[in-house]
Amino acid sequence: MARAKLGEESTRPLPPYLRDDPEPFGETPIADQDEDVLPFLRMPWRNFEKLNLAIAEREDGLRDAVEYGAYGAAQEGIDFAGRVGVAYAG
């Protein structure tokens, strides 16, 4: 995970939708039985953010997560950041 120096002006509490269930999309299952990949290009961006947050929390131990930057702003692909160990990671 990349390390980021976070200022108060660049962070806000996580938006509530990140804790909601994924939004439905299409009629195809999330994983195609003939492929070993997830359909990231068909996935709504909010679902992609939810998936990344869940993975970061479960696999990397991310905690104290905050929203990083603003929707549509140049933020180099960082949507949220939080603590892993004693440092912030984004």
Q: How many domains does the chain have?
A: 1
What pLDDT score does 90 carry? 60
CB atoms within 10 A of CB 75: 15
Q: Which residues constitute the domain of residue 70? A: 8-22+40-89
Is 54 contained in some domain? yes
Instruction: Name residue, tokens 């990083």.
Output: 68
What pLDDT score does 30 carry? 57
Please tell me the distance from the alpha carbon of residue 22 to that of residue 33, in angstroms, as a whole number.
Answer: 20
Please tell me the distance from the alpha carbon of residue 34 to that of residue 36, in angstroms, as a whole number.
Answer: 7
Region of 26 please: left (phi>0), alpha (psi -120 to 50) or beta: left
Q: Which residues of the chain have pLDDT under 50?
A: 1, 4
Is 32 contained in some domain? no
What pLDDT score does 66 carry? 92
Is 46 contained in some domain? yes
